[in-house]
């Protein structure tokens, strides 16, 4: 705290960063966001009932009966205040952080449903949903890890609702000291899915991205003890990922990994053999793609450690698992080809999903995708290179252009397509259609019997962000509408 003006003994009723949500006796934290600066909304917050203002600058005019607390970093203080305002919830509820580049949401989804099936009351905060057991709410924001006050409030609600464990999808943005969203969460355990290329526009370098991912480990508290959990804090790693060694250095937590081989895939099932100790068993699970089995192995291992049930007993509950919304989601329709919606938007996710459909295809693979504006620009060429390797037809379109020119984004991806392949010709098997709805219509019109149409990048998300407007979006619903008008 650099300075304080006004009464320091004030009772507050809520913590807010949005002046529109301020109510009587709120504390308002004037944080600077990507597009808006909370400092400019201080007057509105006071008008709506704020009694305490946290800011990094002294307002030119201070109002009477209002407490102003000037700090060097508002986000950092927001995290600390929220931790104590909500009575340190992560010290009373075991929080397991799940991080990585790809597979976080699917892993946390599997773990949530497995623990629930094992009669463990479990809370979750993830890309697609937050809540507990049968009280799940859809995540309607383009933000996996919420702001600090929302995290601590939600954890407190989970604790009050008698949850035995909380699963927290912990992004590199949230772990970074640029946002401090997760700084005061005390983790009981950590799980890492595979690490790869992503978010370099935010972290500036891959090395910094790794360092921010490592922050999760520093926040695992080995001394945390809970009467209903007898297993000490632990770390789960994907042992096949080439960056795993970065998280093993100076590691004092017990480390676990689960291995499977003899993997056989179809469009709708995967069979594999699990090895644990000196035992092995073979399973056939109604989940496609080996990458989803990697996510399932991590979720099973996590559920086994929390429930204290054997690995193989937990696997018996996997037959009823489904993928989360927007993850390899097959659109059901009376058409002679398949249409799949998936959230994949990183080069490594493209490689895994497109190579899978390339292996499974009986005819052609049609791929529709774009790349996000104001995000990692280096991946655009890579996306084009990978798509060209596996697709027969490519349609480039919008994802979330934001303040960038969507057509220029598309042209950057196109460069990657032509880097390694000369088989793509515009108007024949390569189309540049910024309107995502028109692009999807084009893919359906081009589809022949036994083709696979894959729509990448949006998945479950409910909007497309442009410079001057936000377009409501539901990819699965829009595809169904287009398919309902399909004529062979």
User: What DSSP assignment string belongs to 261-275?
Assistant: EEEEE-SS-EEEEEE
- Range 329-484: architecture per CATH: Alpha-Beta Complex (3.90)
pLDDT at 31: 96
Strand ranges (DSSP E) for 177-290?
189-192, 235-236, 255-256, 259-265, 270-276, 279-285
- pTM summary value: 0.90
Burial zone of 128 (CB within 10 Å; 0-12 exposed, 13-18 middle, 19+ buried):
buried
pLDDT at 222: 85
For residue 142, pLDDT beyond 60: no
- Of 42-56, 161-175, 247-261, 313-327, give the lowest mean pLDDT range: 247-261
For residue 297, pLDDT beyond 90: yes
Check residue 375 and report its DSSP letter: S
Residues carrying CATH 3.90.190.20, the chain: 329-484
Bridge partners, 466 (sequence order): 402
| Selected residue with higher pLDDT from 2 and 315 | 315
Strand order through the sheet with 122-125: 135-138, 129-132, 122-125, 165-169, 95-99, 189-192, 235-236, 255-256
Check residue 4 and report its DSSP letter: E
Burial zone of 204 (CB within 10 Å; 0-12 exposed, 13-18 middle, 19+ buried):
exposed
**What residues contact 297, with CB distance under 8 A and at least 6 apart?**
258, 259, 260, 274
The overall average pLDDT reported for the chain is 93
Phi, psi of 340 (to 5 degrees): -120, 135
Residues carrying CATH 3.40.1190.10, the chain: 89-320
Phi, psi of 79 (to 5 degrees): -60, -45
Q: How far is CA 352 from the centre of its chain?
A: 17
In degrees, to the nearest 5, what angle opens at C-alpha 29 toward C-alphas 27 and 33?
Answer: 155
pLDDT at 30: 97
Per-residue pLDDT band for 247 (boundaries 50, 70, 90) equals confident
Mean pLDDT value of segment 265-277: 93
- Taking the C-alpha atoms of residue 44 and residue 31, their distance in angstroms, rounded to an integer, is 14
Residues carrying CATH 3.40.1390.10, the chain: 3-72
In degrees, to the nearest 5, what angle opens at C-alpha 53 toward C-alphas 50 and 57?
Answer: 145
Reported as a single tens digit per residue, the pLDDT across 159-211 is 999 999 999 999 999 999 999 999 999 999 999 998 876 666 666 688 888 88
| Selected residue with higher pLDDT from 224 and 11 | 11
- Taking the C-alpha atoms of residue 253 and residue 255, their distance in angstroms, rounded to an integer, is 6
- % pLDDT > 90, the chain: 80
pLDDT at 246: 79
Q: How far is CA 310 from the centre of its chain?
A: 29
Q: At which residue do the structure tokens 């203002």 appear? A: 53
pLDDT at 200: 64
- Range 3-72: architecture per CATH: 3-Layer(aba) Sandwich (3.40)
pLDDT at 454: 99
In degrees, to the nearest 5, what angle opens at C-alpha 459 toward C-alphas 476 and 322?
Answer: 85
From the list 351, 371, 341, 310, the residue with the least C-alpha distance to 443 is 341
From the list 233, 198, 234, 224, the residue with the least C-alpha distance to 213 is 198
Per-residue pLDDT band for 240 (boundaries 50, 70, 90) equals confident
- Tell me if residue 103 falls in helix, strand or coil: coil
Check residue 220 and report its DSSP letter: B
**119: which 2 tokens?**
């009669």
**104: which 2 tokens?**
């976080």
Query: Would you put residue 85 in left (φ > 0), alpha (ψ -120 to 50) or beta?
Result: alpha
For the domain made up of 89-320, give the CATH fold: 3.40.1190
Residue pair 28/59 in contact (Cβ under 8 Å)? The answer is no
């Amino acid at each position: 705290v650099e300075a304080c003006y006004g009464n320091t003994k004030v009772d507050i009723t809520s913590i807010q960063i949005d002046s529109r949500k301020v109510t009587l006796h709120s504390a308002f934290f004037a944080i600077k966001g990507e597009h808006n600066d909370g400092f400019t909304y201080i007057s509105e917050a006071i008008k709506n009932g704020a009694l305490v203002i946290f800011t990094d600058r002294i307002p030119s005019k201070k109002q009477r009966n209002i407490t102003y607390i000037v700090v060097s970093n508002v986000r950092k203080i927001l995290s600390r205040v929220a931790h104590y305002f909500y009575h340190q919830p992560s010290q009373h509820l075991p929080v397991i952080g799940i991080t990585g580049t790809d597979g976080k949401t699917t892993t946390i989804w599997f773990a949530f449903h497995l623990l629930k099936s094992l009669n463990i009351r479990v809370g979750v905060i993830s890309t697609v949903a937050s809540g507990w057991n049968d009280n799940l709410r859809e995540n309607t924001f383009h933000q996996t890890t919420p702001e600090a006050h929302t995290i601590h409030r939600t954890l407190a609600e989970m604790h009050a609702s008698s949850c035995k464990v909380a699963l927290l999808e912990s992004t590199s943005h949230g772990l970074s000291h640029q946002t401090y969203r997760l700084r005061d969460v005390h983790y009981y355990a950590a799980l890492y899915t595979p690490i790869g290329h992503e978010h370099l526009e935010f972290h500036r370098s891959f090395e910094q991205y790794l360092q921010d991912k490592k922050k999760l480990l520093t926040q695992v508290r080995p001394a945390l003890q809970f009467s209903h959990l007898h297993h000490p804090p632990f770390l789960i790693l994907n042992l096949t990922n080439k960056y795993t060694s970065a998280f093993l250095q100076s590691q004092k937590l017990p480390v676990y990994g689960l291995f499977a081989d003899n993997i056989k895939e179809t469009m709708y099932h995967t069979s594999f053999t699990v090895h644990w100790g000196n035992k092995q068993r073979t399973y056939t699970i109604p989940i496609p793609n080996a990458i989803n089995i990697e996510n399932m192995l991590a979720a099973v291992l996590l559920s086994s450690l929390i429930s204290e049930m054997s690995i193989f007993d937990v696997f018996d509950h996997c037959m009823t698992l489904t993928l989360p919304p927007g993850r390899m989601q097959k659109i059901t329709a009376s058409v002679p080809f398949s249409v799949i919606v998936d959230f994949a938007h990183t080069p490594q996710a493209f490689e895994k999903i497109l190579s899978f459909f390339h292996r499974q295809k009986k005819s052609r693979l049609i791929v529709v995708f774009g790349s996000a504006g104001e995000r990692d620009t280096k991946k655009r060429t890579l996306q084009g290179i990978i798509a060209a390797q596996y697709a027969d037809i490519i349609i480039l379109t919008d994802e979330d252009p934001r303040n960038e020119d969507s057509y220029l984004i598309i042209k950057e991806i196109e460069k990657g397509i032509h880097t390694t392949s000369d088989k793509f010709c515009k108007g024949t098997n390569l189309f540049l259609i910024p309107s995502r709805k028109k692009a999807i219509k084009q893919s359906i019109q081009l589809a022949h019997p036994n083709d696979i149409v894959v729509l990448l990048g949006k998945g479950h998300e409910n909007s497309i962000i442009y410079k001057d407007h936000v377009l409501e979006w539901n990819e699965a619903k829009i595809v169904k509408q287009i398919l309902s008008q399909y004529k062979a």
